[in-house]
Structure 1
Amino acid sequence: MSKVTPFLMFNDQLEAAIDFYTRTFPDSDVRHVARAGADGPVMSAEFVVGGQTFMGYNGGPHFKFSDGFSLFVDCVDQAEVDAYWDKLVAAGATPTQCGWITDQFGLAWQIVPRRFMELIGDEDPAKVQRVMAAMLTMVKLDVATLERAYEGA
């Protein structure tokens, strides 16, 4: 485990969250689960999602996620954006704005095509401004639309 690991506090849905995340993202695994008794609910766990290690705990209803913390998914292309977006929505996630989506457990995700990061890294501030303006009108990010904005079309 790395020295710094995100620790996610769920109400009582840790086991369901781990199951969903490890089925949705490649390079995922469950490393350790501690239950409240032999057949009891999962209390804490160490798990990997997309190569990132997490710790999780069922902490009760006073723990709530917010948009102050999100998971950023670096997508190689539009097809990958669409695939993750569709899986999250099908499971009950709520799309918000600018590539953000809140999953059924209340955790915020940013589903972002790598091309977006390349476009906003351009040295021409006018191109970057056009891309940012286009992105601000989107719910799910669309590479073709971002590229048209970049070109000024």
Structure 2
Amino acid sequence: MSKVSTCLWFNNDAEEAVAFYISLLPNSRIDHILHAPGPWPGGKAGEIILIKFVLNGQNYQALNGGTAADYGTAASIAVECADQAEIDRLWAALSMNGGAGIACGWLRDRWGVPGQIVPEVLPRLLADPDPAVSSRAFTAMQSMIKLDAAALQNAALG
């Protein structure tokens, strides 16, 4: 097991967030829940303080920090999607209840966690050896909020 994981900070709703996240992706689960052994600045003894979980094979932790945190945009959870149906499903789930699209496949969920919902084809289009193909795909991507795999492919083809 990897000793490296990403830790996401929540006010006091880590359990709700983790249950939501693991419902969205296959190969996801909660591995361990740590309850505070005593009172702490964010809460009382016995409350959930940390949840170790897996999202589609990747290790994460969710910390109930007791105060709101601002995630910024320097890091995000990126999901490469096999098809448009998966993009649409994840986008709808993550952008509901206060979540919102940003640009170029980026969004923030209701907890403010930034994410990228990206079609698997996009990295291939952007790395195409023909600069005209990659440029057209890049330009098309920049005009979108939620990415449309077919539109990106069509733009790349000219």
TM over 0.5, shorter chain:
yes
2:55 aligns with 49
- Count of residue pairs the alignment pairs up: 152
Q: Where in structure 2 are there 5+ consecutive unaligned residues?
A: 38-43
2:40 aligns with none
1:124 aligns with 130
2:22 aligns with 22
Matched, 1:72 2:81: no
1:149 aligns with 155
Once residues 23 and 110 of structure 1 are traced to their aligned partners in structure 2, the CA distance between those partners, rounded to angstroms, is 17
Cα deviation 1:69-99 (Å, max 9, x = unaligned): 1011010111111111112123432111000
CA contact (8 A) 2:10 2:68 kept: no
Once residues 88 and 118 of structure 2 are traced to their aligned partners in structure 1, the CA distance between those partners, rounded to angstroms, is 10
Report the more deviating stretch, 5-14 or 137-146: 5-14
2:34 aligns with 34
Q: Where in structure 1 are there 5+ consecutive unaligned residues?
A: none
Q: Which residue identity lines up with residue 138 of structure 1 in the other structure?
A: M
Q: Which residue identity lines up with residue 14 of structure 2 in the other structure?
A: L
Once residues 98 and 151 of structure 2 are traced to their aligned partners in structure 1, the CA distance between those partners, rounded to angstroms, is 26
Kindly state the Cα deviation for residue 17 of structure 1 after the two structures are TM-superposed. 0.7
Q: 1:71 to 1:36 in 2, by over 3 A?
A: same
Once residues 11 and 39 of structure 1 are traced to their aligned partners in structure 2, the CA distance between those partners, rounded to angstroms, is 16
Over the aligned positions, Cα root-mean-square deviation in angstroms equals: 1.8
SS at match of 1:132: helix
Once residues 71 and 100 of structure 2 are traced to their aligned partners in structure 1, the CA distance between those partners, rounded to angstroms, is 14
Q: 1:63 to 1:141 in 2, by over 3 A?
A: same
Once residues 91 and 33 of structure 1 are traced to their aligned partners in structure 2, the CA distance between those partners, rounded to angstroms, is 25
1:105 aligns with 111
Kindly state the Cα deviation for residue 126 of structure 1 after the two structures are TM-superposed. 1.3
CA contact (8 A) 1:13 1:58 kept: yes
